Amino acid sequence: MDKLLTIGVAVYNIKEEYLRDCIKSVTMNRGENIEILIIDDCSDESCSEICRKCCEGDSRITYIKNERNMGISAVRNMIIDMASGEWVAFVDGDDLLSPNFAAAVNILKDSGRNLIIFNKQTFYRMPPEGAAVCRSQDALECILPNAKQLYDMALSAVNRKALTDGIADGVMLNPGAVYSVAYKKDYLTDGGFRFNTDLKTAEDSLFSAAVLSHTPNAVICPEVMYYYRLNQYSVTHRYDENSKAVTDAYLKAIRDFIKENLKYDSGVMADFKTYRCIYAITDNFERNIFHKDNPNSYERRKKDFLNLLNSSPYRAAIESANPMTYSVYVTRLKVYLAKKRWFFMLDMCFKYNILFRLYGGAVRRINDFKRRIKR
């Protein structure tokens, strides 16, 4: 391999300013030993034209437009197959990569590791200060997770249960995500690690779980090297009338993966029900039943709501769920109202999102007041 790093950018109908910012952040990584692959998954021509213009003048970039939309899994598999770099990194077309990402990989490339996990930071509209600041570094602080910690990260990837054992304090770990990670290409190809093209979502969780469950030599770097945009225009926030079929498919795939690759015990399956199945319910709420673009009548949406909660595996999950289990206050409210089958209240909260924010703010103030009294 003649390159240090291949950075693969997945693009599908990204908002113009977000796409420009993303490609700019990637190209700010200096060095001729970097390969940049921009895979356009059959976007509208306006989006494709932005890609082509952003590629002008940088010989490191290869731009490819798919003749038909193949999905994010197929795009990422293309990146793995085409990569000429020793290391591979995935970037979503509306996020930002630190201009120091490639330099950090270069520092750690000879550490004997085949997985470098970097810290990340989320943002909404404006990129955080320092996101475009180039720094000169000769060394990086690192954390070396042990086999048990890597296995716990694999469990977190499949079940969406937050890590609680402080593997890396101060690091925003999301084991189910493939961004903010550099993978040794030989490790991926030799291990046969691929993204599941049958899934429309959660494909990254299964990929990460597969990689982590095979106990790679991993290193965790606390430096923020990836900036994840909370984007209301992203594919995952668009209305999907087939959302239940999507969640049915990924729940089955995850359950099968657990049986075949992980310790299939009662604790693991309880977490699967408590976290992954519950979040599948809220995914259906957000992407279909209560989505602002859902054209169906109130009565039809209520019927879909009840059908979802009375079908397997969602019924068992919601009936056994304890709303206080969830750290996010809004999730607690959604779970509580779903358990009660209070469609009207949920419909009002999604229609007037300020109700969710008011609830979360009120709970935080009450908890702050209780803590002050205890002092």
pLDDT by residue (tens digit) across 26-54?
A: 999 999 999 999 999 999 999 999 999 99
| Mean pLDDT (whole number) for 237-265 | 91
Q: Give the separation between CA 21 and CA 93, rounded to whole angstroms.
A: 9
Q: Does domain 3-229 have CATH number 3.90.550.10?
A: yes
| Mean pLDDT (whole number) for 264-270 | 81
Of all helices (H) and strands (E), which one includes residue 302?
Answer: helix 298-309
Q: What is the pLDDT of residue 235?
A: 66
Q: Is 369 helix (H, G, I), strand (E, B) or coil?
A: helix
- The count of residues in the chain is 375
Q: Give the separation between CA 242 and CA 283, rounded to whole angstroms.
A: 12
Domain boundaries, the chain: 3-229, 238-368
Q: What is the pLDDT of residue 7?
A: 98
Q: Percent helix, strand, coil in the chain (nearest 5)?
A: 50, 15, 35
Tally DSSP H helices, then E strands, for the chain: 15, 8
| Mean pLDDT (whole number) for 51-60 | 93
Q: What is the pLDDT of residue 209?
A: 95
Q: What are the DSSP calls for 305-316, one per residue?
A: HHHHHTSTTHHH
Considering the chain, what percentage of its residues have pLDDT values greater than 70?
Answer: 95
Of all helices (H) and strands (E), which one includes residue 102?
Answer: helix 101-108
Q: What is the pLDDT of residue 93?
A: 95
pLDDT at 164 over 70: no
Q: What are the DSSP calls for 167-204, one per residue?
A: TTTT----TT--TTEEEEHHHHHHHT----TT-SSSHH
Q: What is the pLDDT of residue 325?
A: 93
Question: What is the reported pTM?
Answer: 0.92
Q: What is the pLDDT of residue 350?
A: 95
Of 75, 3, 67, 10, the C-alpha closest to 35 is 3
pLDDT at 304 over 80: yes
Of 304, 288, 357, the C-alpha closest to 328 is 357
pLDDT at 170 over 90: no
pLDDT by residue (tens digit) across 136-157?
A: 776 788 888 888 889 889 999 9
Burial-class residue 50 by CB neighbours within 10 Å (0-12, 13-18, 19+): buried
- Residue reference for tokens 């038909």: 68
Q: What is the pLDDT of residue 169?
A: 66
